[in-house]
Amino acid sequence: MENNNVKSLYLTLFILSIIETVFLILPILCLLAIFFDIAIFIIIMILKTRFPKGTLMPSGLKFLLISCIIHFISAVLSGISTVLGFIIAYEAGYAFSNLVLLPLNIVYILGLIASLVLMIISCIKIYKEYTAIN
C-alpha cells in the first residue's frame, strides 16, 4: 500500500464529498449530485483494494458509502415519483396524483436529510483519516 496513492485518493474523496454536500444543500443541484455519488462509489471501491486483506474499512469511508447509496436511492425514487406523477395526473387528475405520491415524496425528503447528515459526518471523518496518513 503506497501512502502517497492512498493519500491522494483520500484527498479526492474529501473534495468530492465537500462538493456533493454543497450540491445536497442547494435544491436545484441536488439531482446533479448523483454523478458525484457514482464517482465516490468507484473511488471507494478502488481505495478498498489498496488496504491489506483482513483489515476493516475505516469509518469515514463507511459513512461516505452509506450516504452515497442513500442519496442515489432517494434520487431514483424521486425520478420514479415524477414519472408516476405525470401518468397519474394525466389519467386521474392532479389532486389524486399528489395524494398517491405523498409517501414517495416523504421518503425522498427523509433520504435527502439522512444523506446530508451522513455526508457532513463523513467529510469530517475523511479529513481526520486523511491527516492521519503519513
Domains of the chain by residue range: 3-132
Question: For residue range 91-103, what is the model confidence (pLDDT) as tens digits?
Answer: 877 767 677 778 8
Which pLDDT score is estimated for 133? 85
Lookup: cell for 61:
469511508
C-alpha 118: how far from its chain's center?
Answer: 9
Average pLDDT of the residues in 109-123: 91
More confident residue, 65 or 2: 65
On the question of pLDDT at 1 being above 70, the answer is no
Which pLDDT score is estimated for 104? 81
54: left (phi over 0), alpha (psi -120 to 50) or beta: left
CA 66, CA 62: separation in Å to the nearest integer? 6
Lookup: cell for 49:
483494494
What are the φ/ψ torsions at residue 57 (nearest 5 degrees)? -70, 135
pTM listed for this prediction: 0.84
Percentage of the chain beyond pLDDT 70 is 96
